[in-house]
Amino acid sequence: MGTIQLKKVRKAFGESIIIPGADLDIKHGEFIVFVGPSGCGKSTLLRMIAGLEDLTSGEILIDGKDCSDAAPASRGLSMVFQSYALYPHMTVRNNIAFGLKMAGETPEQIAPKVAKAAETLNLTEYLDRKPGQLSGGQRQRVAIGRAIVRNPSGFLFDEPLSNLDAALRVNMRIFIMQLHKDLGATMVYVTHDQVEAMTMADRIVVLNRGNIEQVGSPLELYNKPNSKFVAGFIGSPKMNFVEGNIAAKHKAKTIGVRPEHIDIVSGKGEWQGKILLTEHLGSDSFLHVDAGDAGRLVVRAPGEFAGKPGDNISLKPDAARIHKFDAQDLSIR
């Protein structure tokens, strides 16, 4: 089992309110990603679930049991930290075994579990090394090994990939997704990287200033964002926002169009613009366009697009894919 329920969870340090009140139901076996800009309270929320931060008020239920005041180790959860937080003077073996040892297991009980975890993570040949002798990716795997060896009902990840280089990050991302599939355990994953959130999550929780802005599957958030904040945060490159007369024509304060939903047309389109910059990624080209009244837009073009900075182009947004927002930045549907 591995259900986690947050009920009006609130966190304040004196006057400053970090999390005004969060409600969330995490089902068994779900991969949940908390995403948001830095300082949005996503790590604090995760640490509250872990038991590393006290609740100001509210309740956390794990497997239906009230764990609001329970000690971290008694919640049946494991955590992987951003800095890995390996014990530097212990060998990899002892790092992985430490939690079991603290739980009072005998060396005979511990050894096979450590061996199994090490095998899963390809760490067998490194078991007698110390963390200082390992590469970043290997340390990351040790941190995961330390988490899985206790066979928890849920895993908590606090930006675990942010210290890795880009190539390794992609590998570890796939590795963690595979691990989730194999173990079937609940995972809560914190990141500020919306790509990680989109690719890994069953459901994404978007946080903004401590508030849960929206919860939903990656495509739900992409297609039907509740607010301008979610619309701008999910998707890369960012959604274009246009205000003023053009928005007023759609009866909205602001309209948003994603770069991939603007077509470059021959003849007269809806907007006219001049290319300022081009970013060629091979598969796609992103054009930064000065579109007069519509302001500065980013437009996705095919990889072989031949336009150069200074060229004039006509643009046509996909009418069905225009998002409308009211004065409170909420979506109009």
Q: Which one among 65, 89, 116, 280 touches another protein, defined by CB under 8 A?
A: 89
Q: Which stretch binds another protein (CB under 8 A): 34-42, 86-94, 225-233, 311-319?
A: 86-94
The token pair that represents 157 in the structure block: 């990840």
**CA separation for the pair 281, 286 (Å, rounded):** 8
| Closest C-alpha to 316, from 291, 280, 295, 333 | 291
Q: Which of the residues 134 through 173 are near another protein (CB under 8 A)?
A: 146
In angstroms, the Cα distances linking 123 to 110, 128, 146 are 16, 10, 12
**CA separation for the pair 143, 223 (Å, rounded):** 35
Site membership for another protein, residue 132 (CB under 8 A): yes
**CA separation for the pair 263, 257 (Å, rounded):** 11
Question: Is residue 324 a contact partner of residue 252, using CB atoms and an 8 Å limit?
Answer: yes
CB of 322 to another protein, least distance (A): 45
Q: Which of the residues 23 through 82 are near another protein (CB under 8 A)?
A: 47, 50-52, 71-74, 77-79, 81-82
Please identify, using beta-carbon distances, which residue of 53 and 213 lies nearer to another protein. 53
Question: Is residue 163 a contact partner of residue 137, using CB atoms and an 8 Å limit?
Answer: no
Please identify, using beta-carbon distances, which residue of 90 and 195 lies nearer to another protein. 90
Q: Which stretch binds another protein (CB under 8 A): 97-105, 121-129, 255-263, 324-332?
A: 97-105
The token pair that represents 263 in the structure block: 């077509």
Binding mask 223-242 for another protein (x = CB under 8 A): --------------------
**CA separation for the pair 77, 49 (Å, rounded):** 9
Please identify, using beta-carbon distances, which residue of 82 and 314 lies nearer to another protein. 82
**Rule CB under 8 A: which residues touch another protein?**
47, 50-52, 71-74, 77-79, 81-83, 85-90, 98-99, 102-103, 132, 146
